[in-house]
Chains A and B, each alone.
Chain A
Amino acid sequence: MSAINIALIPLLPLASFLLLGLFGKKHFKESGGIIGTLSLMGSAGLSLFTAYNYFFVSGKVNGVYQQLEVLKIQWLEFVPGVSIDMGLLLDPISVMMLVVVTFISLMVHVYSLGYMKGEERFSVYYSFLSLFTFSMLGLVLSSNIFQIYMFWELVGVSSFLLIGFYFEKPSAVAASKKAFIVTRFADLGFLIGILILAFHAETLDFKILIQRLTDVSSPQLHSAIAGGLFGISALTWGVLLVFAGGAGKSAMMPFHIWLPDAMEGPTPVSALIHAATMVVAGVYLVARLFPVFAISCPGALEVVMYVGAASALFAAVIACTQTDIKRVLAYSTMSQIGYMMFALGVSGYGGENGLGFTASMFHLFTHAMFKALLFLGAGAVIHYVHSNEMGDMGGLRRKMPVTHFTFLIACLAIAGVPPFSGFFSKEEILTATFHSNKLVYGVALFTAGLTAFYMFRLYFSIFWKRDFVSHGQHGGHGEAPFTMKLPLVILGLLAMVTGFVPFSEFVSSDGAALHSEFHLTMAIAPVVFGLVGILIAFVMYKSESDLPARVSVAMRGLYKGAYHKFYIDELYLFVTKKIVFNLVGRPSAWIDKNVVNGLVDASGMFAQDSSEELSVWQSGKVQNYAFWFLVGAIGLVIAFVIL
């Protein structure tokens, strides 16, 4: 496994970014898409080759998958031993992510050839896509915690640029800023977490850091546990702050508010960045540091579990009430990432205890396929209808057979209906949860029912409900061009079969194969919940009726709360506008203008005034001088006499 092959995986998209970014507008106006797609084909091919090599040829030593550092270049050294290195780290999760990222990205590149056709800034779009893919691949391959932070920021910026791609739309500008700033806020935690962990572990390298912070006999672990603040050890602070960064990127509560708005970006971008790859970076980060969480910091892992479970439920409830199809999918993404998070949270390290870890990664894998498919399908629908609103859709199954069929597959997969992929990964998560925490298990089960409900609400509203009435907006084109249908079909096939991948053989918390068995008894409950959810959706949304309205009236309070996303956005707005701007920003500017600068001006004025006063004495009139000389002399004489 040569380092060059692996380094080329991120470097090809980088080359495409530079080429299109510098010369795209002039020379590759039309061909930008082809160039981007070709570079991604190269990356995807190399990734598959690497995965084959790693999983089947050279990755395993004595039955355990190894962490291979195929490249390490010192980039910036802070103190001896503590440096940012640019490295390439191969282990089961990074190789799995390589395949997911390059593959989904390739699908999105191909799809965009059709979807973005005729766009004036076509080559710019592809250069941004390439930049994102490069950054995401760099993130996945990072061997150093500061390196991952750098690429973390880069994916953030590419996401910002792509959400704001239609920059003439004020809502897109607002959404892109919101996404960047909210995640930046979370990244502040990540940065401070890195500072803490690096100080105690005396390294930034993942491998050494994990080894030092999990070894009971290492002095570094002792120092990390000994130091602390407010009764919480430095280690826990560090790990939790790093997790805050992860929660920001993965749109976990309370940092989730950016994700629904991010849907302002072009739909293929939502599929790539805000469904399949970047938003799972937080899960990946926790998985990357998993031994530290599981072995040294079980308290922090518990936080991960509760944050994940709460986000899963919360987002699912909101998803039931939204009418913008992309927003439904966004909340669904948040909910499914919640699943991945709490799966990690309930997991232990090593052997059978690590089932949750494997399940989480498995769900990440299957979710990437079916959620990308859902978004691309939604994109095709929006392309056809020219609207995001469910109310403008209905009865599209006859007009868009391919989209309809693949969308149905994805819905069945996410609802956890056997034998589609989501069923297997969800079942594994629930099994792991059942053995660890009954409360979270209950939440997960209920959320599974909700998921099936809102997904089929979406499905029926788009494809059934009523006959499609064209509003005369769309130009009478057919369902979608071939370049858009092809990715749908490929992803549809994958959503059907990826559940059968013997995932636990390859990915586990400690690298050794985990022989997870399929428990029929554990599978019954989620399937029943899922089917009930589908059934309710069928009754309510299969055809037009006043049933949904009646239900929403009956559950008025909850419905209204969920419809308004539980007013979290308003809360944020209040805190930022009223408190940060009015109580910090405005006073700072005011103080600077009036107090600090006022003192400067006042001292200037004082100098001027006093010199003006004094200048009276320098009048140049000899009589005055003589007069005051006399006054002085007499005064002195009097003073002498008296004293």
Chain B
Amino acid sequence: MNLSLLILLPVLTALVVLVVRDAKQVRAVALLGAVVQLVLCGFLLMAYTQERNAGNTTAFLFQQRAMWFTAFNIQYYLGVDGISVAMIMMTSLVVVAGVLVSWKIEKLTKEFFFLLLFLSAGAYGFFMSLDLFLMFFFLELAVIPKFLLIAIWGSGRKEYSANKLALMLMGGSAMVFVGLLAVYFYNGTPTFDLVALSKTHLPLVVQHRFFPFLFLGFGVFGALFPFHTWVPDGHSSAPTAASMFLAGISMKLGGYGCLRVATYLMPEGAVEYQWVIILLSAIAILYGAFATLMQTDLKYINAYSSVSHCGFVLLGIGMLTKTAITGAVMQMVSHGLMTALFFAAIGMLYERTHTRMVAHMGGLLKVTPFIGTVFFIAGLCSLGLPGLSGFAAEMTVFMGAWQNPDMWYRFATIAACASIVVTAVYILRALGKVMWGKLELKDHEHVAFADAAWNEKLAAVILIAGIVVIGVAPFLLQQLLSPAADTISKQILRAAF
């Protein structure tokens, strides 16, 4: 399997989008590109499982390597393990759904799809990079389009939100870069090669000093408390597809980086700062959930709940056990699909009602049964209903966290568990008001509009399919992740003893 294809295809699609004539063709090309990419990712998944079943135990498969900047020993180096494959698969599902829900974008259609596809290329590249500099390059590639997407196609306080998001993420990147330089220089032979670096041992002092840079830097992307404030504003100002990408994919770059770079390369640093990570993520989980309770705008509700849910990712990583780490990645995949579904549904409603305020809507299930059902499924997944993906992921985090016998960490776990109650409260409040109850819509005398169109239905079905497959058969995802999580936890064990 040629991994470069997965980066090349979205870039090519983006370029073709630029040269075709009208909006119709732009959409068709974008959708075609996204679907072909999804199929390719499916092939990657199959090829990967085949290799693993055939007994290939190399940490990273399908490696590709070429020298990029000889002077600095920077390489173009790609390869995937189970975690990458899972993230790539999730990304491709969200991209297809995102293209589908953007079907009606009228303003600068061409540029919109160009940026969307470019962003996805950055995400794919990021998840496959085995060279830290290359990884950083893709990380940056995924920030700039976001700024434009919000500033041009956004709503509300879009300039403020776009600035805030870009600046905070840039700040995070700067911290990451400092960490990367430390890894590069304090390692004997200067290199960004992740595989080679994992086999060497960074001096303790360096780890203790620079682990915070890497973890906090990536943590900004992953909505680590208290660096999460770009999330609510950014998500709510962004157009639907951009919100889906932001919450579904971009926030996962952070979690992935925390795991793949910070924890994997500086295990002693992770052990040293374990209590900080756990404390901050437990706060994010519970405090995010309580802050959600008070939100009145559907997008803010989902954005704050994302802060809470992404807390589980960092909590799982912070617990440093294999099970918890597996759970963290499961949560990334699950949350990516679920939150994209939620934003898609909110976008569909907004297009019809022109409001996102919970108080202004009521009883919409009656006029839009399909969108209503999508809302319910996303909501139930969010509150952890068994049979949908959220449950399996969260329970794996809890079980893994409890393996850590430290009593304070158990209190943190209990606090995290308590969020399932708060989540139920805010989800049911929103669902009960918007979908159930008397049919009403502020400033509208007659509530009459069509239920979901074909493109919206297809987008929802694709995401729901992912959620249900993981929810019903989580062992599939877990088997995919297990060897990779094992490699990382072994690295940590080596550090701890």
Contacts and interface: CB of A to CB of B under 8 A. Distances in A.
Interface of A: 25, 74-79, 82, 84, 146, 149-151, 153-154, 157, 160, 164, 167-168, 170, 173-174, 176-177, 180-181, 184-185, 187-188, 191-192, 195-196, 198-199, 229, 581, 584-586, 588-589, 592, 596-597, 599-601, 604
A181 B421 contact: yes
Contacts of B290: 584-585, 588-589
B418 A173 contact: no
Given A184-B421, A584-B290, A600-B229, A79 B323 contact: yes
B424 interface: yes
Nearest to B369: A25
B432 A588 contact: no
A170 B291 contact: no
Contact of A191 (B228, B229, B387, B398): B398
A599 B225 CA distance: 13
B164 A192 contact: no
A500 to B, nearest CB: 40
Nearest to B478: A76
B294 A585 contact: yes
A173 B432 contact: yes
Contacts of A170: 437-438
Contacts of B438: 168, 170
A177 B429 contact: yes
Contact of A195 (B413, B432, B435, B436): B413
Contacts of A187: 420
Contact of B164 (A76, A177, A188, A600): A600
A184 B386 contact: no
B439 interface: yes
9 contacts: A76-B474, A150-B391, A164-B432, A168-B366, A187-B420, A188-B418, A188-B421, A585-B290, A589-B290
Interface in B369-393: 369, 380, 383-387, 391-392
Closest 9 CB pairs of A and B: A589-B294, A150-B386, A167-B436, A588-B290, A585-B293, A78-B399, A597-B229, A588-B291, A195-B402
B323 A592 contact: no
A84 B478 CA distance: 13
B162 to A, nearest CB: 13
A75 B474 contact: yes
A519 to B, nearest CB: 45
B42 interface: no
B168 interface: yes
A154 B471 CA distance: 13
Nearest to B424: A184
B475 A195 contact: no
Interface string B413-444: 11001101100110011001001111100000
Nearest to B225: A596
Contact of A589 (B230, B291, B383, B413): B291
B287 interface: yes
B291 A592 contact: yes
B399 A198 contact: yes
Given A157-B380, A167-B437, A191-B420, A76 B392 contact: yes
A199 B380 contact: no
Contacts of A149: 386
Tier of interface size on chain B? 35 or more
B396 interface: yes
A514 B421 CA distance: 42
A25 B451 CA distance: 15
B395 interface: yes
Contacts of A597: 229
B363 interface: yes
Given A154-B386, A585-B291, A589-B294, A177 B420 contact: no
B301 to A, nearest CB: 11
A401 to B, nearest CB: 39
A284 B438 CA distance: 38
Contact of B403 (A157, A199, A596): A199
A75 B291 contact: no
B386 A151 contact: yes
B420 A168 contact: no
Nearest to A174: B432
A584 B294 CA distance: 10
B496 interface: no
Nearest to B160: A601
Contact of A76 (B380, B385, B396, B428): B396
Of B230, B413, B428, most buried by chain A (CB within 10 Å of CB) is B428
Contacts of B437: 167-168, 170, 173
Given A180-B424, A185-B421, A154 B387 contact: yes
A597 B403 CA distance: 35
Contacts of A181: 421, 424-425, 428
Of A151, A154, A174, A585, most buried by chain B (CB within 10 Å of CB) is A585
A579 to B, nearest CB: 12
Given A181-B425, A191-B420, A589-B294, A173 B474 contact: no
Contact of B428 (A180, A586, A588, A600): A180
A605 B400 CA distance: 42
Contacts of A174: 432
Contacts of B366: 168
Interface in B267-290: 287, 290
B365 interface: yes
B475 A74 contact: yes
Given A78-B400, A195-B413, A199-B402, 16 more contacts: A76-B396, A77-B475, A78-B323, A78-B403, A79-B322, A154-B385, A164-B436, A167-B365, A167-B436, A168-B438, A177-B428, A180-B428, A585-B294, A589-B290, A592-B291, A599-B226
B295 interface: yes
B105 interface: no
A585 B383 CA distance: 18
A185 B421 CA distance: 6
Interface string B284-327: 00010011011100000000000000000000000000110000
Contacts of B15: none
Contacts of B400: 78
Given A74-B475, A604-B167, A184 B420 contact: yes
A604 B363 contact: no
B294 A588 contact: yes
Contacts of A195: 398-399, 402, 413, 417
Contacts of A177: 428-429, 432
Nearest to A199: B402
Contacts of B163: 604
B436 A157 contact: no
B114 to A, nearest CB: 29
A294 B337 CA distance: 45
Contacts of A164: 432, 436
B385 A157 contact: yes
Contacts of A589: 290-291, 293-295
A75 B229 CA distance: 38
Interface string B333-374: 000000000000000000000000000000101100100000
Nearest to B432: A173
